[in-house]
Copies of this chain bind each other. A is one copy, B any other.
Amino acid sequence: MNLRPLGDRVVIKKVEAEETTKSGIVLPGAAKEKPQIAEVIAVGPGGVVDGKEIQMQVKVGDKVIFSKYSGNEVKVDGEEYTILRQDDILAIVE
């Protein structure tokens, strides 16, 4: 079963805290809008969204940092995903 996001939306899967620690990335726990690291699972086609041409900047497999309270969480086939707009992705981690 696949999720095919619409417009400028992106499906991401949060990287587990353990894995996060291993990769050396630690997120502050008390930050009000604390960022999150995740892997991009699916990317919408972009195009005209709300009257504006959006080009997608992320691709499947990218590790990204995003704002925690953006997006919607959904569980598919027992896996939890987050669906958010590309604009809620802050940076790609390389």
Contacts and interface: CB of A to CB of B under 8 A. Distances in A.
A38 interface: no
A25 B27 CA distance: 29
A86 B31 contact: no
Copies of this chain held together in the complex: 7
Interface residues of A, number: 50
State the majority secondary structure of interface residues on A.
strand
Contacts of A15: none
A67 to B, nearest CB: 6
A51 to B, nearest CB: 3
A25 B89 CA distance: 25
21 contacts: A1-B94, A3-B91, A4-B93, A6-B57, A6-B58, A6-B86, A6-B89, A9-B90, A25-B77, A28-B74, A28-B80, A31-B73, A35-B72, A42-B91, A47-B55, A48-B53, A50-B87, A51-B51, A65-B72, A76-B93, A83-B91
